[in-house]
Amino acid sequence: MGRKFEVTSPSAGPARHPSAFAPLANRAFLGLWIANLMSNVGGWMQTTGAAWEMTSLTSAPIFVALLSAAGTLPMFLFCFLAGILADRFERRRYIILCQFWMMGVAATLAILAFFGLLNAWNLVALSFLMGLGNAMNAPAWHAVVPEIVSGPQLRPAIALNSAGFNLARTVGPVIGQILLGLVGVFLLFAINTFTYVGVILAMRAWKRPAEARAAQRREGFIEAARNGIAFVRGSAMLKAIFARGVCFFVPGISMGTLLPVIGRFELGLDEFSFGILYAVFGVGAVAGAMMMPTVNRLVGADRANIWAMGTTAAAILIAALAMTPLVVGIVVVVNGFCWMTVIANNGASVQMALPNFMRARGMAVHQMVFFGSMVVGSLMWGKVANLWSVQAALIASAVMLVPLTVLAASIRLPGTGVPRG
């Protein structure tokens, strides 16, 4: 039988704004944050190495788009299944198992690269398998964050997680492309293989609260799926947040999808400059995470998201019309800032609207919407670039984002009475 759930608005409660770094005073959060940072550095070394390798194997933009889509498609296909599993089983052990899976995929990439056996199709296939590991891991990871920090520190903690990811996105590509120029892509994949060890050790060291384990309900698989779907369908708040996300992510992914083609063929960058171009997105994203508490305090989280969407549209259009390394670099920084704003605020709002026993499933649906939108956008803009040009794809995505920003601003979030844009 279906269960009726009450959803609380994430805007409820006292308006407290702790420091952006306050969650780092929590030793458990700090340990996991550092381990995850190191793992993400390795992951971004691998991502940029794979993108460079793909442009070495083929110059067709559609293959670069396929590589991007293959890594994100599993989030759409398997994330809800992963959310059910993470809500049914002990989350700490579940996350450790996922780390071993991703370690195995990275090791396979390293072995194939060492023996010169990589080609476009097995690179896409292994990207899919790595995405599968991320898909199975993500709902559980997002669900344990509120078990480590809670209350007013949750939004800064989510922003710090995103900042760590994007700090890795700043450092990883630069290190990766330096090593790529010196020793080849094999070493990038090999290093990433060992970065998962830190997360495994940190997760084993964390003592999960007994009340968190007790809060998980031992539902049957079918019942868990049915209740998860019923919860999301019954939550006007979650549906509004998801609708706004789709409006941004489908057109907004164009720059990120086509960045390898832009860097390699439109701008003619070498390995090191290519890594810098990837890295500056992380610079903008880290800046966005650090400034997010202040921006949210001044204009509100929802209005900040709408401004970020409009700014992204303008930035992409500028890049399309003035395709130079300096302009593209600045646009990528701005995109990083805007993406961080939307992702962190949406993620925090979703988590704050979910009870612990439903958190992994609810976050799984959030991830499905996020990554499903990115897959659609990646394939769409890759196809447009393949048929016409990179500039045509960027212009089309920027134009598409303008009315979708207006639509997102018109979507009412329950409990506010007016659009929170």
Above pLDDT 90, what percent of the chain?
21
Q: What integer pLDDT is reported at residue 417 of this predicted model?
A: 36
Q: What integer pLDDT is reported at residue 2 of this predicted model?
A: 39
Q: What integer pLDDT is reported at residue 3 of this predicted model?
A: 37
Is residue 226 pLDDT above 60, yes or no? yes
Confidence category of residue 15, pLDDT binned at 50, 70, 90: very low
Average pLDDT over residues 43-51: 85
Q: What integer pLDDT is reported at residue 47 of this predicted model?
A: 85
Distance (Å, rounded) from C-alpha 268 to C-alpha 325? 9
119, part of any domain: yes
Q: Annotate 265-291 with DSSP letters as a single string.
A: IIS---HHHHHHHHHHHHHHHHHHHHH
Mean pLDDT of the chain: 81
Q: What integer pLDDT is reported at residue 405 of this predicted model?
A: 92
Distance (Å, rounded) from C-alpha 330 to C-alpha 288? 14
Which is more confident, 143 or 221? 143
Average pLDDT over residues 234-248: 86
Average pLDDT over residues 14-42: 78
Q: Annotate 345-382 with DSSP letters as a single string.
A: HHHHHHHHTS-GGGHHHHHHHHHHHHHHHHHHHHHHHH
Is residue 54 pLDDT above 50, yes or no? yes
**The CATH number of the domain where 371 resides is what?**
1.20.1250.20
1, part of any domain: no
What is the pTM (predicted TM-score) of this model?
Answer: 0.68
Which is more confident, 164 or 152? 164
17, part of any domain: no
137, part of any domain: yes
Q: What is the largest CA-CA distance in the chain?
A: 62
166, part of any domain: yes
Count of structural domains, the chain: 1
Range in 86-90, 283-287, 317-321 with the lowest mean pLDDT? 86-90
100, part of any domain: yes
Range in 129-143, 157-171, 212-226, 397-411 with the lowest mean pLDDT? 212-226
Is residue 66 pLDDT above 90, yes or no? no
Is residue 296 pLDDT above 50, yes or no? yes
pLDDT digits (tens, 9 = 90+) for 161-210: 777 877 787 788 778 878 877 777 888 899 999 999 999 998 888 876 66
Domain coverage including residue 256: 22-410
15, part of any domain: no
Q: What integer pLDDT is reported at residue 215 of this predicted model?
A: 54
Is residue 10 pLDDT above 50, yes or no? no
Q: State CA 376 to chain mean position distance.
A: 15
**What's the residue count for the chain?**
421
Query: Measuring CA to CA, which residue among 107, 170, 95 is closest to residue 134?
Result: 95
3-state SS of 28-75 is HHHHHHHHHHHHHHHHHHHHHHHHHHHHHHCCCHHHHHHHHHHHHHHH
Range in 95-104, 244-253, 368-377, 396-405 with the lowest mean pLDDT? 368-377
Q: What integer pLDDT is reported at residue 345 of this predicted model?
A: 82
pLDDT digits (tens, 9 = 90+) for 262-289: 888 888 888 778 878 877 887 888 888 7
Range in 125-134, 204-213, 324-333, 388-397 with the lowest mean pLDDT? 204-213
C-alpha count within 13 angstroms, C-beta hemisphere, residue 70:
21
Average pLDDT over residues 74-79: 82
Q: What integer pLDDT is reported at residue 216 of this predicted model?
A: 53
Distance (Å, rounded) from C-alpha 131 to C-alpha 101? 11
pLDDT digits (tens, 9 = 90+) for 90-149: 788 889 999 999 999 999 999 999 998 988 898 999 999 999 998 888 878 877 887 888
For 370-405, letters b (16+ CB in 10 Å) and e give bbbbbbbbbbbbbebbbeeebbebbbbbbebbeebb
Q: What integer pLDDT is reported at residue 212 of this predicted model?
A: 56
Q: What integer pLDDT is reported at residue 109 of this predicted model?
A: 93
Average pLDDT over residues 301-327: 91
14, part of any domain: no
Q: What integer pLDDT is reported at residue 14 of this predicted model?
A: 43
pLDDT digits (tens, 9 = 90+) for 351-360: 777 777 777 7
